[in-house]
Amino acid sequence: MDQAVFLFEILLPALMQGLIVTLQLIACSAPFGLALGIAVAVGRQYGHPVISWLCKTYVFLIKGTPLLLLLFILYFGLPSIGITFTAFVASVVGFILCNGAYNAEYIRGALISIKEGQMVAAQALGMTRWQAIRNVILPQALCRAIPGLSNEFIYLIKYSSLAYMITVIELSGAGKLVATKYFTYTESFAAVGIVYLVLVSITTIAVTILEKRVAVPGTARATPAAQL
Amino acid sequence: MNDNDIVLRVEDIHKSFGETEVLRGVSFDVRRGETKVFIGPSGTGKSTLLRCINQLTPPDHGRVWLDGEEVTNSGARINYFRQKIGMVFQNFFLFDHLTAVKNVELALLKVRGMGKAEAREKALTELRQVGLEDWADHYPAELSGGQAQRVSIARALAMDPDVILFDEPTSALDPELTREVLEVMKKLARNGMTMLVVTHEMGFACSVANEVLFMENGVVAEQGSPDLLLHDPRFTRMKDFIGRIDSRMDD
Amino acid sequence: MDVLPILIDWLPYLLSGVASTLGLVLAALGLGVLFGLPMALGQVYGARPIRWAVGIYVWFFRGLPILVLLFLFWFGIFPAIGLGHLSAFVVGAVVLGLRGAAYQSQIFRGAVQSVGEGQMIAARSLGMSRLTAIRSVILPQAMRIALPGWSNEYPNILTDSAVCYAIGVVELLTITSRMVTQTHITMPVYLATAGIFIVLNYGGLKLLHRLEARIAIPGFGTGAM
């Protein structure tokens, strides 16, 4: 078959379909993953000892387990105790749990780095602890956590590919199907790779712009001068 | 004077960093056993001058000879010359991952290719010279500033250099620790080591220097023996400068 | 519940899965250092073309999902260049290693760059060549600085090794899958495997922390000059 025909009439349409699914997975997971991360980080740092322990354990368990295994548990395991998710939902739940755990770590690190004085000053003005957290500490922490959070977001883009392993036909799954049907392995996967590289690169650039926009004047981080 | 006595010849050194010309033509000779001290306001290129001599900072213009051989434009041979030109830095730059004795013997092992036993013995000898034999197995982080600087002098001495360059060796030290380092340097000078010292320590300059060179605006503005400079009414700028240092120290 | 006897029956297979997984991890870490370190040195001390080439390599191997890399190499690249006979384990180890090298090169690069400039100056002033200075002064310090960050690669590679399931490598997740399909016991088996991964993860980290403590030098790593 003609290369051009293959490319434009078979591979690209299939990949575009898969890309849409990938974007849907990401769109569904990212916001909740961020929210979960914030909740867990705040719960761990400022919550009741039991809540704090729960948050700590949750992160511990998720970080210690492969995401793929988590997906298997959610999709293949849960039905045996009565909870059945569709493949898409199972994937999203898994991604939220994973993304949330790593986000929580980054945010927690940022919370810790905020000086004690901020809380003290806020309370001196009459704010309750929770008001101080919401209006003074958290905004600053989220700002500082942007590099870490965006790093995690890029990981999310990449590990969304694992949804294929529980039968969701997202980008890499679409590529594999075309590859196995037409024996065009290298070409198909190279194309898939290019799409991911583009996604990741765009995100990286967008994040750099975001970081600059959001930076508080005078708080430039001292990064070692890279020669690149 | 016998020319064979000249260990180091520096001729017309120029160096610019970007737009600023830091050295504008510095020339001098150093004879064997001499101690020359460079003083002057900060930023006049004294440290840069020392680094131009051993080519850590290559000069834009000018030449340097060590014992008659040209050091500038020597390509890979510069490593050979650096063995014979010792250097002691303001911030010591001791190798943090090595004990004192290993700091001193590293170059002996890797550059001179000495055997382990021989290198170890020589290293300990040099540490003894600076009075730090008992601290041989301590790491730089465990040493006081004065001790660290003395180790760094031992490290330079171990290579049996023809000349040692001291770049503000005591500027980073507390006053109490400065003395122990200056004592070692005085001892070296008395024993005939050829030394170039950039410093603010006027007491040291007067007691040990054969010649004091006052640098200003990238050139050697005034030079002469310590006695001459202090007492001859012609050397006004240098005396002004010294006066200013002294009054700062009295505060 | 007669799960326990079945689990015990399968124990040898699970353990062989663990061995496989650990094999993948060690290969990845080893290849990561083997290729990552020279790449880092190339980026810090090398000429422009080298820095460029390393930059592209890192961008490629960090930008692609591990799943896509595995598919690409297993189905596509290796057969195309005549290496189609390699076992899935080897391919998995190589891919994990190449990817690990990309990540680790950046860790090493950061560490080398954070060794104080004065160290190189002092070394050169004693007459050492650049190479000798890098080998005897910079690297010993950089490797110690890099160790904590490098240790964090271990959990990442461990969890990534499970993705090798996708190309048929018989590691722990694969064995678990087989066990589930053959014994029809799902949750207990999955949870047991999760437990094994967690133990491997944190146990390994503990060992690495012990190693860090062992080779620590007094006062080191706190702003070397």
Residues of C in contact with B167 (CB under 8 A): none
The residues in C 156-175 lying below 8 A from A, measured between CB atoms, are 158-163, 165-166, 173
Residues of A in contact with C66 (CB under 8 A): 158
Q: Residue A223: what pLDDT?
A: 36
Residues of A in contact with C110 (CB under 8 A): 224
- The reply to whether residue C124 touches residue B56, judged by beta carbons under 8 angstroms, is yes
Q: Which residues of chain B have pLDDT under 70?
A: 1-4, 233, 244-251
Q: Residue B177: what pLDDT?
A: 93
Query: Each residue of C3-23: pLDDT tens digit?
Result: 788 888 888 999 999 999 999
Residue A59 neighbours by CB under 8 Å, 6+ apart: A40, A44, A101, A104, A105
**How many angstroms separate the most distant Cα atoms in chain C?**
74
Question: Rounded distance, CA C107 to CA C113, Å?
Answer: 10
Question: Rounded distance, CA B242 to CA B230, Å?
Answer: 9
B and C interact (at least 3 Cβ pairs within 8 A): yes
- For residue B28, list its beta bridge partners: B10
Chain B residue with CA closest to C219: the answer is B141
- ipTM value greater than 0.90: no
Query: Each residue of A5-35: pLDDT tens digit?
Result: 777 788 999 999 999 999 999 999 999 999 9
Comparing C-alpha atoms, which of C10, C15, C171, C17 is closest to residue C89? Answer: C171
Question: Rounded distance, CA C78 to CA C80, Å?
Answer: 5
Residues of chain C with pLDDT > 70, as a percent, come to: 96
Q: Residue A209: what pLDDT?
A: 92
Mean pLDDT across A36-60: 95
Please report, for residues C33, C77, C99, C107, the alpha-carbon distance to residue C36 in angstroms, rounded to integers and kept in the order given: 5, 22, 9, 9
- Report phi then psi at C72, rounded to 5: -60, -45
Mutation for testing the C interface, residue in B97, B110, B165 having most C CBs under 10 Å: B97
Question: Rounded distance, CA A61 to CA A178, Å?
Answer: 36
Count residue pairs from A and C with Cβ separation < 8 A: 131
Query: Each residue of C93-112: pLDDT tens digit?
Result: 999 999 999 999 999 999 99
In this model, does residue A224 exceed pLDDT 60?
no
Nearest to B141 among C119, C123, C218 (CB): C218
Is the CB of B145 inside 8 Å of chain C's CB atoms?
Answer: no
- The reply to whether residue C220 touches residue B97, judged by beta carbons under 8 angstroms, is yes
Chain B residue with CA closest to C129: the answer is B79
Q: Residue C198: what pLDDT?
A: 96
Band (A225; pLDDT cuts 50, 70, 90)? very low
- Report phi then psi at A200, rounded to 5: -65, -45
Other CB atoms within 10 A of residue C74 CB: 24
In this model, does residue C125 exceed pLDDT 50?
yes
Q: Residue C221: what pLDDT?
A: 53
DSSP code string of B213-246: EEEETTEEEEEE-HHHHHH-TT-HHHHHHHHHHH
Helix ranges (H only) for A9-163 are 12-46, 49-64, 67-72, 87-113, 116-124, 129-132, 138-159
Nearest to A159 among C65, C114, C186 (CB): C65
In this model, does residue A98 exceed pLDDT 70?
yes
Chain C residue with CA closest to A192: the answer is C68
Query: Each residue of B33-58: pLDDT tens digit?
Result: 999 999 988 777 899 999 999 999 99
The residues in C 74-133 lying below 8 A from A, measured between CB atoms, are 75-77, 79-80, 110, 113-114
Please report, for residues B145, B148, C29, the alpha-carbon distance to residue C96 in angstroms, rounded to integers and kept in the order given: 47, 45, 8
Comparing C-alpha atoms, which of A59, A71, A54, A62 is closest to residue A104? Answer: A59
Nearest to A186 among C77, C113, C159 (CB): C77
Mutation for testing the A interface, residue in C72, C74, C179 having most A CBs under 10 Å: C72
Mean pLDDT across A87-93: 96
Neighbours of chain C (3+ CB pairs under 8 A): A, B
Question: What does the block give as tokens for A207?
Answer: 């994040």
Nearest to B93 among C121, C128, C136 (CB): C121
Burial group, residue A148, by CB count within 10 angstroms (0-12, 13-18, 19+):
middle
Residue pair B56/C117 in contact by the 8 Å Cβ criterion: no
Count residue pairs from B and C with Cβ separation < 8 A: 85
Burial group, residue B86, by CB count within 10 angstroms (0-12, 13-18, 19+):
buried
- The reply to whether residue C197 touches residue A69, judged by beta carbons under 8 angstroms, is yes
Mutation for testing the C interface, residue in A60, A189, A196 having most C CBs under 10 Å: A189
Q: Residue C1: what pLDDT?
A: 54
Mean pLDDT across C46-59: 95
